[in-house]
Amino acid sequence: MKFALIGNPNVGKSLIFNQLTGIGVEISNFPGTTVDLCSGNVCYKKEKFEIIDFPGIYSLDGKSEEEEEVRKYLRNEHVDALIAVLDATHLERNLYLLLQIAEYEIPTVVVLNMIDEAEKQNIHINFAELSDILGCEIIATTATEGKNIGSIIPAALQTASKIKARVPYDRHVEAGIRSLVKLSECSRLEAILTLEGIMQNPELTDTAETISAEIEEEHRMSVYQIMATNRHNEAAKISEEVTSEKGEKKEFRFEKYLTRYFPGIPILALILLSTLMIVFFVGSFLEEMIVSLFEQYAVEPLLAMGLDPLTEQVSFSFVIALQAGLGIAFPFVFVFYILISILEDSGYMTRAAFLADRAMHRIGMHGQALIPMVLGFGCNVPAVMSIRHLSKRERVIASFLITMVPCSARTVIIAGIVAVFVGVPAALSVYLIVFALIALTGIVLTKFTPGEQYGMILEMAPLRMPKAKQTLSRAWLHMKEFIFIAMPILLVSSIVLGLLQYGGIIQAFQDVFAPAMDAALGLPDYASTSLLFGILRKEMAFETLAILAGTADLGSVMTGIQLYVFAVVSVLFVPCISTIAVLYREMGVKIAALVSAYTLTLGLIVGSLIHFIWSYL
């Protein structure tokens, strides 16, 4: 048996999915978190059922890829029951989608989520009446507290039924639907989709076009617009019938200030700055502690053991990789993800995106690409995946800009190398350089990329107190990836590096590249090897630097300006291998190659500029 979770963005589908399946897919207070279909299993009374978590959609009549994907799935695959998740605080908008789902005539259970918020906002919904109108069972839930989640699967199994509520379309449209059905013996759904121009059915299209033309003549509106209006009216009518609001909504006053230029922009700057500061300070405090523990209890005792050179090299590589991973990267990654999770869950992130959008438009930058760019601060990979709903032109621009956004791994480099050994102002200046280059790249690309520019539609996520458990578990989701994917790569490559070093091969490699690196960037010879490793995972540039230098105290082997140049180059130069792979998947080989070549050149040019300017000062 197969069930599917369907609903608007940001209504709690993924949270419910996680609670039902025990799988940890990403949940955040940011519309559009889930972009791929996720599937998982749930056990109920010793039987196993499959559940699908659809990406959030506002309607089934739009042209975005998510809607296309869900529509195709509903029409071509068999789903035993839909679990439609509605947000009780935005009933009308959620019903608009539900009324379209109804037309697919798939057995459905309606989950009315966010009951806690609705109560806080004094929104009261008459469940019995709503269930009567829709003709299916309603389960009222508060997913964050796990309330009533247990009733969902039994309901999907036993009481799921086709929604009986139907949109009464304009009578000309209804007549058109009826004649299409009669003419070609298709279903009502097919007739509707063809009239809307969503489905191309060679048998129907001609007739449908004639009918549409007649209706448009009469109404001076496209059939698509008429039907959308009818649906909106019906959704509004139902929502009004079952909802009663008492008292005033409170939260909204404070909210207004966050999206105004003033004091919105200063607040945004302050929040960004404090986020970086906290990452720098807490991260480096933890780093110092862990690194010195490692030195004292692992590195020194190991060197004192007097092992034979090969064994010593291998075990030294192992220990120093552990130290680099747990001591250097972990503290920064961890603090960073906790903070980002808090910002997202509080709903502030959508406000930041909104503000930044207005500001960015002024310098000719692109609006819609902004949400993915904000995501890019966490990791470029999901950010690139989330540009799928943009137009072709926007996707090309976004591909370049997103891969330049300093992700958490690059924050590790900036924090761990520059903030720790050179100073916090220097670390902030790296961000300034990167942001300036992103803006410049954006302006140039906007000028030269063909295609139209669209505006941005971003729904404000509600302001909410982040929940400790959810924030931690999301930070943990990313940490897990770090520990189980990055750490093993780091350990293995460190040992390989150790062996290569033992065999003198690293030396040979560096002999070839070192002169150029030294001349152009003024970096020591082992830095070129580290930069190369940075392509595997960004923060590995930093970790291998420590490994090859043989110490985590980089300040003792490199000068401040060398560390600064190294950080700038590795932050800018070539996205990591996972980002290149996902770019290739989403955009094709040409864009992936162009982006890599561009960032490589940019990194080397900017690095050598800094080096030369510094030497002349």
Ligand X SMILES: Nc1nc2c(ncn2[C@@H]2O[C@H](COP(=O)(O)OP(=O)(O)OP(=O)(O)O)[C@@H](O)[C@H]2O)c(=O)[nH]1
Instruction: Kindly list the residues in this chain that would bind ligand X in the complex (CB under 6 A).
Output: 7, 9-15, 27-29, 31-34, 55-56, 113-114, 116-117, 142-144, 345, 470
In the bound state with ligand X, the residue whose beta carbon lies nearer, of 342 and 561, is 342
Q: Residue 405 Cβ, how far from ligand X at the closest point, in Å?
A: 20
Quick count: other Cβ atoms within 10 Å of Cβ 270?
11
| Residue 498 binding partner per list Mg ion, ligand X, none, with a CB distance cut-off of 5 to 8 Å that depends on partner kind | none
- Does 8 bind Mg ion (CB under 5 A)? Our answer is no
Q: Specify the residue, 34 or 108, whose C-beta has the smaller distance to ligand X.
A: 34
User: Which of 30, 16, 31, 22 lies closest to 66, judged by CA?
Assistant: 31
Fill in the DSSP letter of residue 483.
I
Specify the 3-state DSSP secondary structure of 6: strand
Asked if residue 13 belongs to a known ligand binding site, the reply is yes
Q: CA nearest 434: which of 406, 402, 396, 397?
A: 406
142 binds, among Mg ion, ligand X, none (CB under 5 to 8 A by kind): ligand X
Which residue in 8, 12, 14, 100 binds Mg ion (CB under 5 A)? 14
544 is in an annotated binding site: no
Nearer to Mg ion, 29 or 207 (CB): 29
Confirm or reject binding of residue 529 to Mg ion (CB under 5 A).
no
Nearer to ligand X, 94 or 599 (CB): 94
Among residues 341, 343, 406, which one has the least CA distance to residue 379? 406
Q: Residue 98 CB, nearest distance to ligand X (Å)?
A: 14
To Mg ion, the closest distance from the beta carbon of 86 in angstroms equals: 15
The option from ligand X, Mg ion, none interacting with 386 (CB < 5 to 8 A, set by class) reads none
Residue 579 CA to residue 5 CA, distance in Å, equals 29
Q: Is 29 in the site for Mg ion (CB under 5 A)?
A: no
Q: Known binder of ligand: residue 21?
A: yes
3-state secondary structure of 54: coil
Instruction: Report whether 198 belongs to an annotated binding site.
Output: no
Q: At how many degrees (to 10) do helices 330-345 and 261-294 cross?
A: 150
Residue with Cβ nearer ligand X (118 or 592): 118
- Count of other CB atoms within 10 angstroms of residue 163: 23
Residue 553 known to bind ligand: no
- Cis ω before 263 (30° cut-off from 0): yes
Q: Given candidates 8, 18, 28, 33, which one binds Mg ion under the rule CB under 5 A?
A: 33
List Cα–Cα distances, 5 to 79, 103, 256, in angstroms: 10, 17, 33
What are the b/e assignments for 307-318, b being 16+ CB within 10 Å? eeeeebbbbbbb
For the bound state, the minimum distance from the C-beta of residue 338 to ligand X, rounded and expressed in Å, comes to 15
If the CB atoms of residues 10 and 510 are measured against ligand X, the closer one turns out to be: 10
Query: CB-based contacts of 59: which residues, under 8 Å, 6+ apart?
Result: 67, 96, 97, 100
Shortest distance in whole angstroms from residue 349 CB to Mg ion: 15
32 is in an annotated binding site: yes
The phi-psi region of residue 568 (left if phi > 0; otherwise alpha if psi is between -120 and 50; otherwise beta) is: alpha
Determine if residue 14 is labeled as part of a ligand binding site: yes
- 90 contact choice in ligand X, Mg ion, none (CB below 5 to 8 Å, kind-dependent): none
CA 433 to CA 603: how far, in whole Å? 11
Binding residues for Mg(2+): 18, 21-22
For Mg ion, the binding residues (CB under 5 A) are 14, 33-34
